[in-house]
Structure 1
Amino acid sequence: MVENVIQFIDWLEANKRIEFLEHDYASRLNLICKLDGLQKAENYIQKIPVSYRGEVVYRTLLVNCVDSNNSRKAEEVFNRIKDLGLPITTFICDQLLMLYRRAEQKKIPEVLAMMEKENIKPSLLTYRLVIDTKGHASDISGMEQIIDMMKAEGLKPDLMIQCTVAKYYISAGLNEKAEAVLKEMEGDDIQENYVTRKSLLPLYAALGKADDVGRIWEICKSSRRRDEYVAAIEAWGKLGNIEKAEEVFEDMIKVCTNVSAKQYIALLKVYVNNKLLSKGKDFAKRMTDDGCHIGPVTWDVLINLYAEAGELEKAGLILQQASQRTENKPYYSSYLTLLDKYSKKGDVQNAEKIFLHLKQAGYVGKLKPYQYLLQAYINAKTPAYGFRDRMKAGNMHPNKDMAAQLVAADALIKSQTSSLFD
């Protein structure tokens, strides 16, 4: 489909049917990034008339670098934007913050300092990203300082920020502060504000507030929205009230039209999270009987179900069957779940098998599988000969945690070698 769009655009351009402007070139560039990768996209930029190689074009390339988690290329593009004298906008800074939030949080202060120096005004997204970063690092006081700064700038925390703040308060055990945020979220129009109701259900459940979950759910019931039913199923499941979760699901089946696998999966996840293998198996069969489309999401949940129950062979069989489908491949997380379990057991043979299948599925360039695989060797007290070479071949660079793993793995090799001379 994308290839056809690109061919059509090429035809329009070649036959002078439309006159391309910078936004048109940027759209073409975006399609090339998605279909052919960043390198071909960069090559295409050289074909764009110089007068149209502006901020919109390079901003489009930067977004795709960030989406690909390619820090090196993103930084190259950012430096090119600076070298060309193009404007450094809030949007561009937010892209860098999104990139660094995932992997290189130590660089976030550099971006914020640059914004302050260049008098680049933070957006609501800027504050969201920094608040989330602070909360994720358990820096609650730092998170609160950012909120105060935002309010001083005349910006009011939106629903997403409120949910994020409440979540981190709960994680830190600051339940009173979390409740205060939730009450603020409710306001006076909770009867009409379904988006907020949907957000409150899991947060009250995380606080263990069954009465509040029930109260909000009673307000939700009359609207008959599927996403509110799903939120209620998840909330009751989080509280361990399986009967209530099942009751909400059956009510949804009766009153909602077009109930899909997505809604079924909500209850299946409840069974998984509460380690109810028998119920999960029966419900998975019901999904098939009811005509649900079984795809990557369902496979992922089922693999988790069996893996958590210790039935790794069954989980592996589901993964194998799913990987043979041509229309969709299993999620990266499905492979990682099994790899983690085999790693903890020190089952090197099966860990190597999952690692190979993961690479065959096209999930390359990620460090976590190497960490799990190496840990399998360490837990099995088996030397991982040539592991550093394997990492180099995969263009992998160890982080701090994996560097410690490699030291432990090297010790096993030395121990094995020394024992030959005892």
Structure 2
Amino acid sequence: MASSLFIPTQSLLPTREFFVALPRMLPRHYSLVIHAAKRSTPNATPPVHRPSITSIVKTLTAGHVSVVQALQRQAPYMRQADWFALLAALGKQSKWTLILETFRWMQEQKWYRLDNGFHSKLIVTMGKAKQLRMAVWFFKEVKRNGHRPDTSLYNALITAHLQAEDKRIGFAKALQLFEEMKTKANCKPDLVTYNILLRGSAQVRDILQVERFFEEMEVEKIHPNLISYNGVIGAYGKAGDLVQMEKTLFTMRILKHIKPDTVTSNTLIESYGYGRDFVKMEQVFKSMTAAKNKQTSRPDAKTYNILMASYARLGEVGKMEWSCSRMEAANFKLNLRSYEILMTGYGEVGAIASMSECFYQMLQAGMQPQKSTLNAMLRAYCKHNCFEEAEELLNDALGWQTRPRTSSYLILLRAYAKERRSSDVEMLTERMAKVGIAPCAATFLEALESFSLSCGYEEKLTESAAEAQSDGEDEEDAFDAF
């Protein structure tokens, strides 16, 4: 008798629900085998190799292969976000020539598409790095490629100008761009524009401009948000108008029903600190630490740094150290700014040994000293006439990753001038020339010697003026390469 073939009907076939429940029905070791088989499917897409931005930067800076070769090798694995990260990483190391070479190479590729958002990020990055001319160059590059700048590009360029060494010059240029935006069809100022300008007004303590922008926003039916109010609160705080600052806070919280955030509280703490109203400053801090909801205004690392800085300015070393201990207790690690504040506070009261110990702790934490670190220590040494220590520190700083700039030498020059140490001034100016500090600024050195030694106007030589000159020379060097 021939065997009959059993053909299951549709109702007897296993359903999808059966296969879903199967791992739960089998013993545990069978279930694990099934899941492992799923993970090791032969047709699964292999993971895409994502290049390390750090390794690419090392390859480009080493110079063993050409920029074109290095970029062509990594291009198939790069996304747009990777290209921006690469340019930003080069910017952090001040490799401006490499930035331009990389960007030029990108423009020549078939896959490159001009993107205003990408250019906006580049412009802001260049502004933060104090490379204003490069920021302007990227802005004009959009026009040269036949595209019209939009609001986001103008916002980025305004932000870059507000990062200038001379804040007033930068703010004046930002206002020019703001008026230019109003004449363009697709570049009308938006909420972001006004928020940027409100923050810029706070930097230069121009309260009239703050009030003007707020009025314009009302006319244009642009409703202020939390960032807008934070900018206004910061402007009144920096100007020392604590009464108007508190009125703005009341309007924001009670009338507009906008909850303050950590930025708001940090601004209040900083403003009360500058106004030496430590009672209100500490009240704001206590309200932050007492907040149970994590979405409300909670202290961050900047909060503790602001507290420490407020006490350090007045030489309140005990309270400064208390703030530092609270920061560590809140599981925030001290950052570069924290160490610089501590060194400034110790230097203010002449605790040179504590300042030096703090500096070595910073090095042990793996942090590279910056120009601001050097200047903070030099001011302390010069304030207490520790000129030998200052000279030794300046010599050591020549081996740092961030070499001394004009402002560092100027601190020591002004101190020598104040003490009428003319021979030391001459020796230091010679050292400046040898290490290439302002080598073409003979008029600057002559003015320094004339003001400091003959007229006693050492305070007229500000650090910002010297730094602007030095930064200008650096920008010239970056563009001369092209």
| Structure 2 length-normalised TM | 0.62
Distance 2:194 2:122 in 1: 22
> Which digits, 9 at most, give the CA deviation of each residue in 1:93-121, with x for residues without a partner?
76267436744545655554443232233
Alignment partner, residue 284 of structure 2? 248
* Aligned partners of 1:217 and 1:232 also within 8 Å: no
1:62 Cα deviation from its structure 2 partner: 3.1
Q: CA deviation at 1:179?
A: 1.3
Q: Distance in 1 between matches of 2:98 and 2:259?
A: 47
- Does the CA-based 8 Å contact 1:351-1:376 persist in structure 2? no
Partner of 1:398: 438
Q: Is the 8 A contact 2:339 2:358 kept in 1?
A: yes
Q: What corresponds to 1:316 in structure 2? A: 355
Question: Percent of pairs identical after alignment?
Answer: 12
User: 2-side partners of 1:138 and 1:150: how far apart?
Assistant: 19
Cα displacement (A) at 1:336: 2.4
Q: Partner residue of 1:229?
A: 265
The one-letter code sitting in structure 2 at the alignment partner of 1:145 is: Q
- Asked if the contact 2:126–2:135 (Cα under 8 Å) also holds between the matched residues in 1, the reply is no
Q: Report the CA distance between 1:325 and its aligned residue.
A: 2.6
Q: How does 1:3-402 map to 2 (within 5 A)?
A: 18=46, 20=48, 27-33=50-56, 38-39=61-62, 46=69, 48=72, 52=76, 56=80, 61-82=86-107, 87=113, 89-90=115-116, 91-92=118-119, 95=122, 98-99=125-126, 102-106=129-133, 110-134=137-161, 136=167, 138=169, 142-151=173-182, 152-158=184-190, 161-169=193-201, 174-182=206-214, 193-218=225-250, 220=253, 223=259, 225-256=261-292, 259=299, 262-272=302-312, 275-278=313-316, 280-285=317-322, 287-288=324-325, 291-292=329-330, 293=332, 295-296=334-335, 297-307=337-347, 309-311=348-350, 313-314=352-353, 316-323=355-362, 325-326=364-365, 328=367, 332-342=371-381, 348-358=387-397, 362-365=400-403, 367-368=405-406, 371-372=409-410, 375=413, 379=417, 380-381=421-422, 382=424, 383-384=427-428, 387=431, 391=435, 398=438
Amino acid at match of 2:237: A
Per-residue CA deviation, residues 349-379 of structure 1 (Å, 9 max, x unaligned), is 222332345456x433553476447737964
**Within 2, Cα distance between the matches of 1:208 and 1:407?**
34
The 8 Å contact of residues 91 and 126 in structure 2, kept in 1 or not, is answered as: yes
Q: How much has 1:28 moved relative to structure 2?
A: 0.6
CA positional deviation for 1:156: 4.9
Rounded Cα–Cα distance in structure 2 between residues aligned with 1:189 and 1:114: 33
Q: Distance in 2 between matches of 1:295 and 1:82?
A: 42
Does the CA-based 8 Å contact 2:274-2:310 persist in structure 1? yes
Contact 1:166/1:178 (<8 A) preserved:
yes
Letter of the structure 2 residue corresponding to residue 52 of structure 1: P
Q: Structure 1 residues 18 and 263 mapped into 2: Cα distance closer, same or farther (>3 Å)?
A: same
Are the equivalent residues in 1 in contact too, given 2:273–2:310 (CA < 8 A)? yes
Is the radius of gyration larger for structure 1 or structure 2?
2
In the TM superposition, residue 184 of structure 1 has moved relative to its aligned partner by 5.8
Which secondary structure state, in structure 1, belongs to the residue aligned with residue 364 of structure 2? coil
Contact 2:201 2:210 in 1 (8 A): yes
Name structure 1 gaps, 5 residues minimum: 1-15, 413-422
2:3 aligned partner: none
Could you give the per-residue CA deviations for residues 22-62 of structure 1, whole angstroms, max 9, x where no partner exists? xx5xx415241467773379669736559839895765543
Moved more, 101-110 or 173-182: 101-110
Query: Relative to 1, partners in 2 of residues 1:229 and 1:70: Cα closer, same or farther, differing over 3 Å?
Result: same
Distance 2:99 2:75 in 1: 23
Tell me, which stretches of 5 or more residues in structure 2 are unaligned?
1-43, 453-482
* CA deviation profile, 1:103-141 (whole Å, cap 9, x unmatched): 454565555444323223325453134324555352666
The worse-fitting range, judged by mean Cα deviation, of 230-239 and 337-346 is 337-346
Q: CA, structure 1 residues 195+338, in 2 after alignment: closer, same or farther (shift >3 Å)?
A: same
Q: 1:188 and 1:122 mapped to 2: Cα distance?
A: 22
Number of residue pairs matched by the alignment: 380
Q: Could you tell me whether the CA contact under 8 Å between 2:374 and 2:408 is conserved in 1?
A: no
Q: Cα 1:239–1:17, aligned 2, differ >3 Å: closer, same or farther?
A: same
Change (3 A) 1:159 1:212: farther
CA distance 1:118–1:212, shift in 2 (3 Å): same
* Structure 1 Cα separation of the partners of residues 301 and 203 of structure 2: 31
TM-score by length of 1: 0.69
Once the two structures are TM-superposed, the CA of residue 335 in structure 1 deviates from its matched residue by 2.6
**Which amino acid counterpart does residue 201 of structure 1 have in structure 2?**
I
Find the residue that maps to 2:329 and give its secondary structure: coil
Cα distance, 1:77 vs structure 2: 2.4
Contact 2:127 2:159 (C-alpha < 8 Å) held by counterparts? no
Q: Could you report, residue by residue, the CA deviation over 1:373-393 in whole angstroms, capped at 9, with x for unpaired residues? A: 7737964432148736852xx
Question: Does the residue aligned with 1:138 lie in a helix, a strand or coil?
Answer: helix
Alpha-carbon distance in 2 for matches of 1:51, 1:98: 22
Name the CA shift for 1:303/1:406 in 2 (closer, same or farther; >3 Å). farther
Is the Cα contact below 8 Å between 1:268 and 1:284 reproduced in 2? yes
CA offsets 1:398-422 (integer angstroms, 9 cap, x no match): 376587339968xx9xxxxxxxxxx
In structure 2, distance between residues paired with 1:140 and 1:71: 25
- Name the CA shift for 1:88/1:371 in 2 (closer, same or farther; >3 Å): farther
Q: How far has the Cα of 1:295 moved from its partner?
A: 1.7
SS in 2 for 1:277: coil
Q: Which structure ranks higher in relative contact order (CA pairs < 8 Å, sequence separation ≥ 6)? A: 2
Q: Secondary structure at the match of 1:122?
A: coil
